[in-house]
Each structure stands twice: as C-alpha cells, then as structure tokens.
Amino acid sequence: MAAVDNVYLELPPTPENPKNPENKVSTVDNIQRQLPHLPISAQKSDGYTKPHRQSFVQTMFFKSKHGDLQKKRLLCIIGVISGLFFVGLTVGLITKWTCDSNKDVNRQCLWSSWSFWTVCSSSTIFGKQYRFRQYSGPAHSCQMNETIEDQECPDDQYTFDLKFDPSTLHQSCYLSADNKVLSNHFGGETKDNPNDVNQLQNYTGSIGNICSEENTKIYFEIYFQYEILDFLYGPYLLLEVGLAERNKIDNILQIGDKKVGGWSLQIYSCPNLRKICLSVQHGKVDSLKFTLSSNEDGTVADGFLGFLVDRERSEFSFMRDGKKFFTFPEVESDELLCLVFGVFNPSSVKVSQEIITAKNYTDILKSHWT
C-alpha cells in the first residue's frame, strides 16, 4: 500500500483571520494531539524498539495488561481471608459465652462441704464473715478462688447475751457494770463485788450465766489483756477459761485439774522459758500450745480467743486468729456443763477478760465446722 501523505482539512475561518485560505491543519497532527501521551518505548522510531518491561511496583498496582483480572483475584482472596477471620472470631466469642454460662457445671471437681460461716464480732475484719471448703479432684478441674466465700455480716439471729454471773463472783474479783468484763483489779469500769451468798469460795473467778445441756452448741469470744507487775519466778496462773460440772467448780483452783475433771485453756508463766505460755488441760493432759510474751515485769500483752462448745459432737474447741488449734474430744457428762472464767495472782499481774460476742447454734440441724 502506498504511503499516505498528509491530508489537510479546511477549517472554518477564525475571527483573527476570517479570509485566510491557508488555515488548514494536518489531520494526522490533529489526531496525535487528541491521543494520550504514550511512553517513549511505545512511540514509533526508525530503528529497533526495545520491549517494555513492567516494574514490580507497576505489577503490584495492576499496570500489566491483565491488571483488572489480578485485582479481582486479589480482592477475592482478601475477602475470603477476612470472612474466615470474622467467622473464627464469632465462633470464639460464642464458645466463650457458652463456657462462661456453664461455669457452674460439674467439671469432675470433688468438693468438701462448706464450713460454717465465721462469726461476726468487733474483731471481724472489714465487717465480713467467711466460709471455706476444700477440693480433692484434679487440680486442673478446680478453681482456687472457689474455695472461699464471703458476705457482709448480717444482723445475726443466733446472738445471745452471755455474761459473767455476778452472784458467783469470788470476793477477790471484779465485774464491769454490764457484767461483761472480769478482772482481778478494781478499776474505772468495774463495780464493787456484790458478795453474794452463792459466790465462789475457792475458785477465783466467775461462772457464766449459761450452762450447756445435751446437743447444746455455742460459740463465744473473749478479749484478754494483762500487765506483769513483778517478775514471775514460778508457774503463776494468769487466767483460765473452762467447762466443768457446776457442783465441782469450787473444789480447787484449776478447772482442768483431775479433781474437778473439767476442760480448760490456761495462760500462765513458764519460768524455764521466761515466757508467758498458753496451754490446754484436762486431767493428765497438759499440752503447751503457744508462748505469748516475756514474763518480765512491765510486759503488757493482749489478744482474742474463740471457744466452741459442741455437745452434739462431745467436743470443746479453742481458736486463735480465726483458726482452730485444739479440740478436746469426749466432752461428756450426765450433768450440766457450765462455762467458768478465772483471773489470778493480783499481787504479780493485772489481768482481765471480756466477753465480746456469743452465738447459740443449738437450733441448727445441719452444720459443718472445719
């Protein structure tokens, strides 16, 4: 085919040169001006033209002639991955919700029964009471935080008014006006000894205003304090809390003595240790449990102690810092067993004990105390 020469079209006259017959333009030139600018590699040349290669960046941004297809494929892949991610997230959330809603389902974790609620009193921490249980199943199946529960201390329906009976008070002892504090020294909170005809003659203390029958279950706490006035060279007795038959209490100075046959906790001086000691006693059983302080003059100490009389189980238990540290078994008698409180040796030590709380759990049919 012969080469095509430039073809000219006659354009309409312009305002600048309305009569210029030479106002012509090349059709080829006009078409070239209307075409988009082509890369140099695509322009026509008289010599060899090197093939154009796309860079990696151009490829990633779909600059190849198949760019639209690649873009659609990549978008499809991204859509599938995103869909799988959201499906997995949804399934995970549903699974977690299902597990949380079934957290109370038995996971083959073997639990003991819940213990009895700890007693609310003036010494209760943060106004709460607690109960406990233990697990014996596989460790991975049990949650450690499920071994303890707490609740705010309610108005306790089991509270009863345990006091020292003023009619039984020994002549060398003193009671507060509300009969809650027993002391071996007269003080601002104590009242004169009533010197009743029924008062104890030998045992330097007082009997509580309640005696336990069969199946009686009571708990009480005392706050004790003492000040040593003179160095205690011998095994001086400071105070005692015990349980004994009413007609045997006044036989001798110690409730735990075998002549009385009672069960008691005693605080006394241990001269060989140069300490004030706490022990339990019943007949021939005399077991040291703690040392509380030095026995030198000027020593001042105090503390809280808890007591549980459980005649349903024939037990008398002692507690310190919320934990039971000793229990007398076989606490049995055909007679009434009365609570007895003693304070001793006023010439060497100033000592008092105060009843701060008391609960009567006799009417609870099923209880667990661990």
Sequence-distant (6+) residues with CB within 8 A of 198 are 167, 168
Neighbours of 234 (CB within 10 A): 10
Q: Yes or no: say if 234 and 348 are a contact pair by the CB < 8 Å rule.
A: no
The whole domain housing 142 covers 106-156
Asked if the structure places residue 295 within a domain, the reply is yes
Looking at the structure, tell me whether residues 151 and 173 fall in a common domain: no
Asked if the structure places residue 1 within a domain, the reply is no
Neighbours of 131 (CB within 10 A): 16
Asked if the structure places residue 305 within a domain, the reply is yes
Looking at the structure, tell me whether residues 149 and 220 fall in a common domain: no
Cα–Cα distance between 352 and 242 in angstroms, integer?
A: 15
Q: HSE on the CB side for 357, CA within 13 Å?
A: 20
Asked if the structure places residue 37 within a domain, the reply is no
Residue 105 clears pLDDT 80, i.e. is over it: no
Helix runs in 112-175, H state only: none
Return mean pLDDT, the chain: 76
Residue 105 burial (C-beta neighbours within 10 Å; 0-12, 13-18, 19+)? exposed
Looking at the structure, tell me whether residues 125 and 196 fall in a common domain: no
Looking at the structure, tell me whether residues 356 and 270 fall in a common domain: yes
Cα–Cα distance between 248 and 261 in angstroms, integer?
A: 8
Exposure letters 270-308 (e unless 16+ CB within 10 A, then b):
beeeebbbbbbbbeeeeeeeeebbbbeeebeeebbbbbb
Q: What is the pLDDT of residue 108?
A: 62
Looking at the structure, tell me whether residues 186 and 335 fall in a common domain: yes
Q: Which CATH number is 263's domain given?
A: 2.60.120.920
Q: Residue 300's pLDDT band (boundaries 50, 70, 90)? A: very high
Looking at the structure, tell me whether residues 209 and 268 fall in a common domain: yes
Residue ending a domain, among 156, 183, 216, is 156
Cα–Cα distance between 185 and 351 in angstroms, integer?
A: 7
Looking at the structure, tell me whether residues 145 and 192 fall in a common domain: no
Looking at the structure, tell me whether residues 187 and 122 fall in a common domain: no
Please tell me which residue, 23 or 324, carries the higher pLDDT value.
324
Asked if the structure places residue 64 within a domain, the reply is no
Residue 83 burial (C-beta neighbours within 10 Å; 0-12, 13-18, 19+)? exposed
Segment 271-296, tens digit of pLDDT = 999 999 999 999 877 788 889 999 99
Residue 160 clears pLDDT 90, i.e. is over it: no
Q: Yes or no: say if 155 and 316 are a contact pair by the CB < 8 Å rule.
A: no
pTM over 0.85: no
Lowest-pLDDT choice from 83-87, 121-125, 223-227: 121-125
Q: What is the pLDDT of residue 316?
A: 95
Residue 121 clears pLDDT 60, i.e. is over it: no
Cα–Cα distance between 239 and 217 in angstroms, integer?
A: 24
Segment 229-277, tens digit of pLDDT = 988 888 999 999 999 998 889 887 788 887 778 999 999 999 999 999 9
Q: What is the pLDDT of residue 242?
A: 95
Q: Pull the structure tokens for residue 295.
A: 């026995």
Lowest-pLDDT choice from 89-93, 166-170, 231-235, 353-357: 89-93
Asked if the structure places residue 231 within a domain, the reply is yes
Looking at the structure, tell me whether residues 198 and 345 fall in a common domain: yes
Segment 39-69, tens digit of pLDDT = 544 444 444 455 555 554 445 444 444 556 6
Looking at the structure, tell me whether residues 172 and 273 fall in a common domain: yes
Q: What is the pLDDT of residue 42?
A: 45
DSSP string, 218-278: EEEEEEEEEEE-S---S--EEEEEEEEEGGGGGGSS-TTSTTTT-EEEEEEEETTTTEEEE
Asked if the structure places residue 111 within a domain, the reply is yes
Picking from 235, 273, 275, the residue whose alpha carbon sits closest to that of residue 254 is: 235
Q: What is the pLDDT of residue 63?
A: 47
Q: Which amino acid is at 163?
A: K
Residue 319 clears pLDDT 90, i.e. is over it: yes
- Strand positions, DSSP E, the chain: 8-10, 24-26, 128-132, 148-152, 174-176, 181-183, 190-191, 205-212, 217-228, 237-245, 263-270, 275-282, 285-294, 300-310, 315-320, 323-328, 337-343, 349-360
Residue ending a domain, among 125, 156, 187, is 156
Asked if the structure places residue 239 within a domain, the reply is yes
Looking at the structure, tell me whether residues 136 and 203 fall in a common domain: no
Cα–Cα distance between 179 and 252 in angstroms, integer?
A: 24
Looking at the structure, tell me whether residues 171 and 126 fall in a common domain: no
Bridge partners (DSSP) of residue 245 are 337
Q: Residue 347's pLDDT band (boundaries 50, 70, 90)? A: very high
Cα–Cα distance between 369 and 314 in angstroms, integer?
A: 14
**Domains contained in the chain, number:** 2
pLDDT, average across residues 342-351: 95
Residue ending a domain, among 97, 129, 156, is 156
